[in-house]
Amino acid sequence: MFSSSSNDTDKLYANVVKQDIVKCDVALKGYLLEIREHCFDEAELNELAAQVRSKITQLKGLLTTLRSIAQEQDGVECREAALQDVCEHDSQLQQTHSAIRTALLRAKLAIAEREKSELFSSPSSNGIDTNSQDSGTVRHRMSREHSLKQSSQVNDDLLTAARMIQETTDKSAKTLDSIVESSQTIGSTKEELNTMGSVISQARKLLSKYGRRENTDKLLIFIGLVFFIACCLVVIRNRL
C-alpha cells in the first residue's frame, strides 16, 4: 500500500518536472527566435545571452532531477523508458543550445559589421580644410583599429563556441554510451533473473517430486512392516 502511494507521488512529481522542462524549452526557442529576428546592440545582446544562460542552467537542473526520478523506478522497463525520455530531452537541449550559440555569434557579427560601416561612413562636404582632413585620417585609422579588434574578438568567440560545441558533443556521446551500457547491464541482469527464476521453479518441482516419493516410501515401509508383523502373528498362532 505504501509502495503504491510512493509510486503515485513519484509519477506526479515527474509530470510536474516534465512540464517545467517543456516551459524552459519553449522559453529557449523564444529567445532563439528573438535573436534571429531582432536587431540588438551589444548591451542588449549581452543581457539576452545572460537570460539564456540562466534558463539553460535551470533546464539542466530539471533534467538532473528527472534522471534521478527515472533511476529510482521499480520496473526495469519503466526505468529504461524513463531514462530514454531523459536522453531525448537532453539531446533536444543540446540542439537548442547549439542553435542559440550560432544565432548569438551571427548577431555579434552583424553588430560588428554595423559598427564598422558606421565608423567607415563619413559625411561628404565641399569645403574640407586641412584640420578636417587630418581628423578624418585619425578617425579612419582608429576605426580600422577598432574593426580589427572587433574582428579578432569575433574570431575568438567563434573558436570558443566551436570548442564548446565539440565538448558538448563529446559529453553527449559519453552520456549516450553510458545509457547504452546501462541498458545492456539491465538487460543482462533481467536475463540472469529469468534464468534464476526458471532454476528455482525446476528446483521447486524436484523438491515436490522428492517429497511425494518420500511419502510413497514411508507408506511402502509401513505396509511391509504390517505384513511382517502379520506373518509373525500367523507363525506364532500355528505353533500354539
The model's pLDDT over 79-107, given as tens digits with 9 standing for 90+, comes to 788 888 888 888 888 888 888 888 888 88
Identify the pLDDT of residue 147. Answer: 60
Q: What is the mean pLDDT of the chain?
A: 77
CATH architecture of residue range(s) 2-120+137-177 = Up-down Bundle (1.20)
Block residue for cell numbers 563556441:
161
pTM of this structure = 0.48
Give Dmax (Cα) for the chain. 164
pLDDT for the residue 1: 38
Distances (CA, A) of 83 to 45, 88, 176: 35, 9, 11
Instruction: Describe the chain by its helix, strand, coil percentages, rounded to 5.
Output: 90, 0, 10
DSSP class of residue 170 equals: H
Mean pLDDT of 12-41: 83
Summarised one tens digit per residue, pLDDT across range 129-157 is 444 455 555 555 555 566 656 666 666 66
Residue written as grid cell 537542473: 61
CA-nearest of 57, 81, 56, 43 to 179 is 81
Q: Three-state SS for 103?
A: helix
Render pLDDT for 37-91 as a digit per residue (tens, 0 to 9).
777 677 888 888 888 889 889 888 888 888 888 888 777 777 788 888 888 888 8
Which residue has better confidence, 39 or 125?
Answer: 39
Backbone angles phi, psi at 122, to 5 degrees: -130, 140
Out of 94-103, 119-128, 136-145, 188-197, give the one with best mean pLDDT: 94-103
What are the domain boundaries of the chain? 2-120+137-177, 206-240
